[in-house]
Structure 1
């Protein structure tokens, strides 16, 4: 073993000499190196490196990925990792992510090249998922540690983690257990090797013991720094989503392109109108075209003044604002049926400043093709020549304009450029309507609409519809036709049970998109025990994924049993229990969400095209980007640009967007962001490849969000 270590050290020394630089970030000739703001990900095709790549993609942080399974891949050597630009030494990557602490064969020249590179430029390395072993600064788990599942366990951030890269967390890091029949986690819990310079950041109690073992920690050795992660994860799991920000901040030193925040917005559709109720006997909704019983009468659900009071009190308690998408004809019709009285509208208008408001069209009319409801399901009516009959331009424009005028006369604080059409109609609806109503774009232009709500389950990508840019919205599985929990569960059972169980069988016909319940839910308990936890988990997953898209429910869900609130409370209370006060939920209105999505899309295109260059020299970060492209970055608190403070505070850093004028943008970092000092090499880098680690089914094939889980 001694002979092998000596040989490796000589190899590393030769590589450093080949680079022409001494070890450490400070160089003998006084030249400060240039560090490009790009991450190198070396992947073995596993879920952990994939998860980190997904985090960087979502944030807009540039990276280069090398697939170890690709026989034609780039070889990692000194020339690939570093070179010289304008006479200045350049490190081409600010951080290195490996699938484990050493994914290469014993004596690998590539591992030696990486070790030399990390020593020379003080580049940190993330071991995405590795076995606890001395080469990673930890005892083998057999020495009082643990190897196995952590499903349902609760890890916690240490004091060092809170004062370091995970300071945005409140402490708890719960591990998911969505399906007891499927393993969803695997971890190696251990303690540092005696004498190792190892700082635990996240720990969990060893099962059956009172001692704690490390799950995430920093290991300093031979002039290098590694973030050692000893549990496996995929990009969707809550435990990773909670720690992802800290992993990125650690490996970049809090200096990187891209930004990540936790967003949550809720749109409430059909305000002032009423939503028809699900009929538990007929298993359909009277008033809908597919409820064909001639004796079925619609049974409307509509908010009351008490529901408005509850909504405003809930907003105050949660420091959160709901977006109300309104239909003015709902109030006009109610007044016509009640001698001019509409206590709900009077109350909402009196309290209008408590909410944000969105034009949802005047009557909630269907604005796509003319619907032929003589058949079930409906189809698009056609002209004599077989062409589609479309709702006309003036009809669409009137729906938009009349509702806007009604809202303005009521004093609603509107953003006139925002619109959500009834049922997202006008845009294509498969299978009946395979294209947008061609009159929709013209009517949007007539009314100066900039932002158009769309259904994320149909169209997850933002696109243009005439002058308007879509804002995809997540539909919550809290049904529009349910005001009571028992109704919600009854309809849920109808949709998600087999025909043999008395259900619709939709889940049998569409196994790729729906999973049948093993048995119908109890209508008395199923909502609280199954549906609420599931919907909370799905929505919170979006919040933790740096996803600004809004969710939408309906006014019926704020009425009667007020079934939306347990889900919304679950999301916000769950979030508060996990995050520090420096990392609040970001609650944007529709136009700001649209702008964020559009900026991200432009940024992603420019980064992938290689049109953005960014690097750090000492305390200065320089970004070169195309003219008019908004540049996004996350930098330490106290960073300035052109003498002014940069960004907005979030999660212990500052981040934001800065417009580019085509000339280089310079950011001056505070003294606290100094690069690590040179560390002497005390031990040799690892030469033994990391052993194989276990990946359970729930990680390699993520446990789906189903009604059963």
Structure 2
């Protein structure tokens, strides 16, 4: 049931307690206005930075106050609340502190925060705090534990599953990426005697049979705190798993912004063949990195049996691959085999099992004209020194001919999507610092609106003529490997020192990579080292609310089918962690592009202060510029203008709503009670929290591996 301020007397007490100017008496049904914005009070530590990063990624507005800044505003009654049109307004729906009390003894700021939280029922997150009675827990020396928890398996309690962490199945693994670096530190403890404390996530206390809280809710003095007693940064898997629950707890499931877990996999060069890595020459005959013309290339190409495997794999995992095709590959195959191409026949027969994307007809390089007589290649130049560019007519042909081939084959295409071979035409450093000027006009000629780019060199979405880029993550399952032993041999070449028989690239680029301590065993290294590594990296993207697709090549679905162990690791690993109401979101390229485009516009509007949003009772009002799509996460059953809003995900409803410039009004279901507010006479703040230990592995991201 909606709670309200009962009488003018209670309202008078409220305004006096907050130091507000007294206003006219309000009707009994008047509820306070709660602005949907989070206050993040930071001490520069990794935990508050991680929560701020989660809010940024989701698109949830927040105000950050840096305690280390001499010019920061004072956190007092006027900073926290005021009145708007005679109605009391809480300027923040939640408060995030570095710990349960980061201020000095007797702090007026902590007292103001405590009073504010009581008055408006505002929850507080203690991002990383020492376990102590002031936070509802016994000190660790009373049968608890202080120390490293690298590699432990924490568990969500029944209360956590019934509450803010219900999207998880139960297990919360903690990373242990380096045996020489401390990556996690925690204070494991049990609730203090008499404390109203509910653990949500806990782990075994070493040397005992008891469980100690890592995340729990402490209720006291009319306030609610989410008490976190382990330290983390924004990259660690344990935080990525729990971050959604932290945000949903502090916002009560009512906030701007949305977060989902995405995974899409593009398979490049379908119908074509990929050149094979030569383990003796340490290069790829037939490709530009191999100048030895005496060696005959040994191409890798899928077979009909590989197609059967792919469709069966998809069906068993409820997942759809995006096949990026080059029609000339099949034309050449038929020309060389008396009109026969069993692979194309099979793929075309099974075409509706997959999504399809134009990858150009011959996979030609569409940037500058390449001089491949040297390694690395360079751009050819005209007599005046200017760059020789592949012409517009050639680019037009590559796009249009492949589209026409696919349409004749009956492939279910979307003509607005395109990924050029090697992302060519787009800038590539150091050889080609600019886009081919003929690319944008050719995209316009062919109605292309979404253009794939390589995230490792072009990560931000940008416009290329009429098209917006969609950055794709390259997976370290190499295009020129169909067998695990080839993949491992090339991996060793790239990531070992010259003294160990490698290329030494890892020695030449210490800022971005580190050499392997020793070459991997070519018989076991792929399964034992590369697969777990690539799984962790890809799953890290999935858990970061990042919709960008990953890409591999058709060669990885052939021969040893080396892509599947990694893909299985991601999908099976995800299923082991998340409940059924939190599925992976598997979007096609244009939908990913649209998501990225909307996010960029929304983030720009938020940072420009163009979004006004607040809750009064069971109504949420959002004012945004016309043409902006508004993103929100709200309780199931929320309506917008009388119609349903969003789609179900992780126990909530979330989605986008188009703004015409007039206010959007969301009506929450009756089950989503407004926060209770109470009159009070103030509460003494607790003593400052002891400084908690932060190991070096949390102050920076610990690399998964040499190349991450």
What TM-score does the superposition give when structure 1 sets the normalisation length?
0.96
2:460 is matched with which residue?
Answer: 461
Question: Secondary structure in 1 aligned to 2:539?
Answer: helix
1:343 is matched with which residue?
Answer: 342
Deviation by residue 1:316-363 (Cα, 9 ceiling, x = unmatched)? 000000000000000000111111110000000000000000000000
1:9 is matched with which residue?
Answer: none
Question: Secondary structure in 1 aligned to 2:433?
Answer: coil
- Distance (whole Å) between structure 2 residues aligned to residue 28 and residue 232 of structure 1: 46
- Distance (whole Å) between structure 2 residues aligned to residue 138 and residue 543 of structure 1: 34
1:566 aligns with 2:565: yes
Q: Post-superposition shift, 1:20?
A: 6.4
- Distance (whole Å) between structure 2 residues aligned to residue 242 and residue 574 of structure 1: 12
Deviation by residue 1:69-113 (Cα, 9 ceiling, x = unmatched)? 001111111111101111111100000000000000000011011
Q: Post-superposition shift, 1:686?
A: 3.8
Larger CA deviation: 671-680 vs 698-707: 671-680
Deviation by residue 1:536-558 (Cα, 9 ceiling, x = unmatched)? 00000000000000000000000
1:40 is matched with which residue?
Answer: 39
Q: Post-superposition shift, 1:295?
A: 1.7
Q: Alpha carbons of 1:21 and 1:97: their partners in 2 closer, same or farther (altered >3 Å)? A: farther
- Distance (whole Å) between structure 2 residues aligned to residue 600 and residue 14 of structure 1: 38
Query: How many correspondences in the alignment?
Result: 695
1:663 is matched with which residue?
Answer: 662
Q: Post-superposition shift, 1:611?
A: 0.5
Deviation by residue 1:621-648 (Cα, 9 ceiling, x = unmatched)? 0000011111100000010111111110
- Distance (whole Å) between structure 2 residues aligned to residue 449 and residue 650 of structure 1: 31
- Distance (whole Å) between structure 2 residues aligned to residue 44 and residue 15 of structure 1: 30
- Distance (whole Å) between structure 1 residues aligned to residue 134 and residue 384 of structure 2: 76
Deviation by residue 1:675-697 (Cα, 9 ceiling, x = unmatched)? 24357989955431100111111
1:278 is matched with which residue?
Answer: 277
1:377 is matched with which residue?
Answer: 376
Alignment of 1:43-442 (within 5 A): 43-442=42-441
- Distance (whole Å) between structure 1 residues aligned to residue 418 and residue 536 of structure 2: 28
- Distance (whole Å) between structure 2 residues aligned to residue 538 and residue 17 of structure 1: 48
Deviation by residue 1:413-454 (Cα, 9 ceiling, x = unmatched)? 000000000000001111010100000001101000000000
1:507 aligns with 2:506: yes
Q: Alpha carbons of 1:663 and 1:28: their partners in 2 closer, same or farther (altered >3 Å)? A: closer
Alignment of 1:672-691 (within 5 A): 672-678=671-677, 684-691=683-690
- Distance (whole Å) between structure 2 residues aligned to residue 419 and residue 15 of structure 1: 62
Deviation by residue 1:49-82 (Cα, 9 ceiling, x = unmatched)? 0000000000000000000000111111111110
Question: Secondary structure in 2 aligned to 1:386?
Answer: coil
Alignment of 1:586-665 (within 5 A): 586-665=585-664
- Distance (whole Å) between structure 2 residues aligned to residue 107 and residue 687 of structure 1: 8
1:19 is matched with which residue?
Answer: 20
Instruction: Tell whether the 8 Å contact from 1:286 to 1:296 is kept in structure 2 after alignment.
Output: yes
Q: Alpha carbons of 1:437 and 1:14: their partners in 2 closer, same or farther (altered >3 Å)? A: closer
Instruction: Tell whether the 8 Å contact from 2:291 to 2:374 is kept in structure 1 after alignment.
Output: no
Instruction: Tell whether the 8 Å contact from 1:96 to 1:126 is kept in structure 2 after alignment.
Output: yes
What TM-score does the superposition give when structure 2 sets the normalisation length?
0.96
Q: Post-superposition shift, 1:193?
A: 1.0
Q: Post-superposition shift, 1:411?
A: 0.3
Question: Secondary structure in 1 aligned to 2:134?
Answer: helix
Deviation by residue 1:174-232 (Cα, 9 ceiling, x = unmatched)? 11111111111000111111111111111111112211010101111111110000000
- Distance (whole Å) between structure 2 residues aligned to residue 42 and residue 215 of structure 1: 21
Q: Alpha carbons of 1:587 and 1:94: their partners in 2 closer, same or farther (altered >3 Å)? A: same
Question: Secondary structure in 2 aligned to 1:215?
Answer: strand
Unaligned runs of 5+ in 2: 1-12
Question: Secondary structure in 1 aligned to 2:631?
Answer: strand
Instruction: Tell whether the 8 Å contact from 2:367 to 2:435 is kept in structure 1 after alignment.
Output: yes
Larger CA deviation: 549-558 vs 687-696: 687-696
Q: Post-superposition shift, 1:565?
A: 0.3
Unaligned runs of 5+ in 1: 1-11
Q: Alpha carbons of 1:358 and 1:685: their partners in 2 closer, same or farther (altered >3 Å)? A: farther
Question: Secondary structure in 1 aligned to 2:573?
Answer: helix
Instruction: Tell whether the 8 Å contact from 2:128 to 2:230 is kept in structure 1 after alignment.
Output: yes
Question: Secondary structure in 2 aligned to 1:199?
Answer: strand
- Distance (whole Å) between structure 1 residues aligned to residue 211 and residue 707 of structure 2: 33
Instruction: Tell whether the 8 Å contact from 1:222 to 1:685 is kept in structure 2 after alignment.
Output: no
Question: Secondary structure in 2 aligned to 1:177?
Answer: coil
Instruction: Tell whether the 8 Å contact from 2:18 to 2:116 is kept in structure 1 after alignment.
Output: no
- Distance (whole Å) between structure 2 residues aligned to residue 587 and residue 34 of structure 1: 38
Deviation by residue 1:387-434 (Cα, 9 ceiling, x = unmatched)? 111000000000000000000000000000000000000011110101
